[in-house]
């Protein structure tokens, strides 16, 4: 039995999944814009609902692709004499996977977790800015706050202001994307682990898969440079 047609269909489905990921990225950027512009909470919540809808689509697509792959592997393994009803077998496996769905699944979606995390950071930053606007801060305190903020903009590897900051999901530290990826690649060739470059951090196994773009920090850096 040839599965070339099935493989082609799976490839198309994976392309659909990339569109879902792009949609989730756009929704995240829109939500951050809304928070940054002090828009109504309702607008931000609507973007969260969009993210959950995307997560549901992603889960359904994953389940369907898994059902197809398991069916193909089963047929290859059993090698039946007659061509089985592929559509029925796939539907059966897909239904079984979908029957285990729960709302908590959607909240475990990696893109959704990133969305919530970035939203939290943006709100924190906006709250700090509101506090600075509403309170008469001593000049010395203001200078310290600015200095500390600017220090957060500096990459612990290059010692320069970051242009594309990424944050380590494990320890929470940020680095310039190109700099940390270069270290990871070099250490991988040497078959060695990468210790977090931030002084005092005990995390000793930095992986590329643990790095996520820090959109909030990038916006803060860009905003500081525009002033």
**Full residue range of the structural domain in which residue 187 is found:** 165-225
Query: Residue 196 phi/psi, 5° resolution?
Result: -55, 125
Give the end of a domain, one of 113, 129, 145: 129
Residue 171 maps to a domain: yes
Q: Are 117 and 186 in a shared domain?
A: no
Give the end of a domain, one of 72, 102, 129: 129
So what's the pLDDT on residue 130? 61
Q: Are 95 and 14 in a shared domain?
A: yes
Q: Are 98 and 21 in a shared domain?
A: yes
Residue 219 maps to a domain: yes
Burial (0-12, 13-18, 19+ Cβ within 10 Å), 124:
exposed
Give the end of a domain, one of 72, 103, 129: 129
pLDDT one digit per residue (tens) for the chain, 227 residues: 567 778 888 888 888 999 999 999 999 999 998 888 876 688 888 999 999 999 999 999 999 999 999 998 888 888 877 778 888 999 999 999 999 999 899 999 999 999 999 998 888 877 766 655 554 444 434 443 444 445 579 999 999 999 999 999 999 999 999 999 999 999 999 999 999 999 899 999 999 999 999 999 999 888 888 76
Q: Are 73 and 121 in a shared domain?
A: yes
So what's the pLDDT on residue 151? 56
Write the DSSP string, the chain: ---HHHHHHHHHHHHHHHHHHHHHHHHHHHHHHHHHTT--HHHHHHHHHHHHHHHHHHHHHHHHHHHHHHHHHHHHHH--SSPP-HHHHHHHHHHHHHTT--HHHHHT-HHHHHHHHHHHHHHHHHHHHHHHHHS---HHHHHHHHHHHHHTTB-TTT-SB-SSEEEETTT--EEEHHHHHHHHHHHHHTT-----SSTT-------GGGEEE-HHHHHHHHHHHH-
Residue 98 maps to a domain: yes
Q: Are 16 and 98 in a shared domain?
A: yes
Q: Are 78 and 123 in a shared domain?
A: yes
Residue 204 maps to a domain: yes
User: Contact 122/36 with Cβ under 8 angstroms?
Assistant: yes
Q: Are 71 and 175 in a shared domain?
A: no
Q: Cα separations (Å) of 3 from 8, 71, 79?
A: 9, 11, 13
Q: Are 33 and 102 in a shared domain?
A: yes
So what's the pLDDT on residue 152? 78
Q: Are 172 and 69 in a shared domain?
A: no
Q: Are 98 and 196 in a shared domain?
A: no
Which domain CATH number covers 186? Answer: 3.30.40.10
Domain count, the chain: 2
Residue 137 maps to a domain: no
Give the separation between CA 225 and CA 24, rounded to whole angstroms.
28
Q: Are 114 and 221 in a shared domain?
A: no
């Amino acid at each position: 039995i040839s599965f070339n047609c099935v493989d082609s269909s799976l490839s198309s489905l994976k392309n659909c999944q990339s569109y879902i990921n792009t949609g989730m990225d756009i929704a995240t950027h829109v939500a951050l814009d809304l928070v940054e512009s002090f828009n109504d909470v309702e607008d931000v919540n609507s973007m969260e609902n969009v993210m959950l809808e995307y997560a549901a689509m992603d889960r359904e697509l994953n389940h369907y692709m898994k059902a197809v792959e398991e069916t193909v592997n089963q047929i290859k393994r059993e090698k039946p004499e007659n061509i089985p009803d592929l559509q029925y077998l796939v539907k059966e496996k897909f239904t079984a996977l979908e029957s285990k769905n729960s709302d908590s699944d959607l909240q475990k979606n990696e893109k959704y977790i990133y969305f919530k995390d970035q939203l939290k950071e943006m709100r924190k930053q906006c709250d700090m800015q509101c506090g600075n606007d509403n309170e008469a801060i001593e000049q010395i305190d203001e200078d310290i706050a600015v200095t500390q903020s600017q220090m957060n903009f500096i990459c612990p590897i290059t010692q320069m202001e970051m242009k594309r900051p990424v944050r380590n999901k494990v320890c929470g530290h940020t680095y310039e994307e190109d700099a940390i990826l270069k270290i990871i690649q070099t250490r991988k060739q040497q078959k060695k682990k990468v210790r977090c470059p931030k002084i005092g951090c005990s995390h000793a196994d930095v992986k590329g898969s643990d790095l996520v773009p820090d959109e909030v920090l990038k916006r803060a850096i860009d905003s500081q440079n525009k002033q």
